[in-house]
Amino acid sequence: MLPLYTAFAARIAGELEGVIFQPQKTQITLKNRRVFGAVSFLAARRAKDRPNPYITITLGLNRRLDSPRVDQASEPYPGRWTHHLVIGSTEEIDDELMAWAREAYDFAASK
């Protein structure tokens, strides 16, 4: 899973200005002024369907993503959607994922 995290962190650091990577007990939180995402080992997909290795990327947006790539989505309060995406290969860290990360980054910065 380290190559997956390293590839994702490198793209985040290279494409989004001023991101703080804050290690915590169960995840690495991604912040600008506020939290916009996280990387963890959250089991957002059933074990038999999860790749090995994997990481789970969590992004907070102001809308629900309509994509088969989203493993779980919830609306913890009105106008804020939390999305969990299980990533099993560096190829999945693509422009679409980074566009969602940018959207989450901008949404957090606007609060």
| pLDDT at residue 98, rounded to an integer | 98
Residue 18 — left, alpha, or beta (φ > 0 → left; ψ -120 to 50 → alpha)? left
pLDDT of residue 78: 95
Give the pLDDT of the chain (111 residues) as one tens digit per residue: 999 999 999 999 999 999 999 999 999 999 998 999 999 999 999 999 999 999 999 999 999 999 999 999 999 999 999 999 999 999 999 999 999 999 999 999 998
Closest CA to 102 of 86, 110, 27: 110
Q: What is the pLDDT of residue 111?
A: 83
Helices 95-109 and 2-15, interaxial angle, to 10°?
A: 60
